[in-house]
Structure 1
Amino acid sequence: MLLRLPTTVTEAQECLAEGAVPIGGATLVWATWQRDGFPERAVSLRGLPEATAVEADSLGGAVVLHRIDDRVPEVLRRAAASVGTGAVRRTATVGGNIVGSTLRCLLPAALVLDARPTVLAQDRAYETDLAELLAKRHLLLSLRWRTPLASGYRKEPAEAGGPPPLVVATAVHEGPGGERELRIAVREGYDVVGGAAPCDEGAGQALDGLARTDVGALPAEARDVVRGQVRDVLAGLTGR
Structure 2
Amino acid sequence: MLLRLPLSIPEAQECLAEEAVPVGGATLVWAVWQRDGFPDLAMSLRDLPDAQVLGGGRLGSAVVLGRIDDRVPDVLRLAAATVGTGAVRRTATVGGNLVGSTLRCLLPAALVLDARATVLASDGVHETDLAEVIAKQPLLLGLHWRDPIASAYRKLPPDAGGPPPLVVASALHGDDGTGVRLRVAVRDGYDVFSGDTVCAADPGTDIDRTLHALHSTALGDLPPAAWDVVRPQVAGLLDGHGPVR
Q: Same fold (TM over 0.5)?
A: yes
- Partner letter of residue 209 of structure 1? A
Query: 1:37: how far off?
Result: 1.3
Whole-Å separation in 2 of the counterparts to 1:118 and 1:20? 19
Give 1:223's match in structure 2, choosing from 216, 221, 227: 227
Matches within 5 A, 1:189-228: 189-200=189-200, 201-202=203-204, 203-228=207-232
- Partner letter of residue 223 of structure 1? W
Matches within 5 A, 1:110-189: 110-189=110-189
Q: Mind listing any 5+ residue stretches in structure 1 that lack a counterpart? A: none
Query: 1:178: how far off?
Result: 4.2
Equivalent residue, structure 1, for 2:47: 47
- Partner letter of residue 136 of structure 2? K
Query: 1:210: how far off?
Result: 0.4
Cα deviations by residue, 1:167-190 (Å, 9 ceiling, x for unpaired):
000000001224201000001111
2:25 counterpart SS class: coil
Equivalent residue, structure 2, for 1:80: 80
2:210 counterpart SS class: helix
- Partner letter of residue 149 of structure 1? I
Cα deviations by residue, 1:61-113 (Å, 9 ceiling, x for unpaired):
01100000000000000000000001110111101101111110000000000
Cα deviations by residue, 1:14-64 (Å, 9 ceiling, x for unpaired):
011112111111111101111111111111111111101101301000110
Whole-Å separation in 2 of the counterparts to 1:235 and 1:105? 26
Equivalent residue, structure 1, for 2:99: 99
2:59 counterpart SS class: strand
Q: Does 1:236 align with 2:240?
A: yes
What fraction of aligned residue pairs are identical, expressed as a percent?
A: 66
Equivalent residue, structure 2, for 1:38: 38
1:231 counterpart SS class: helix
- Partner letter of residue 97 of structure 1? N
2:172 counterpart SS class: strand
1:50 counterpart SS class: helix
Q: Which moved more, 1:56-65 or 1:154-163?
A: 154-163
Equivalent residue, structure 1, for 2:66: 66
Query: Aligned pair count?
Result: 238
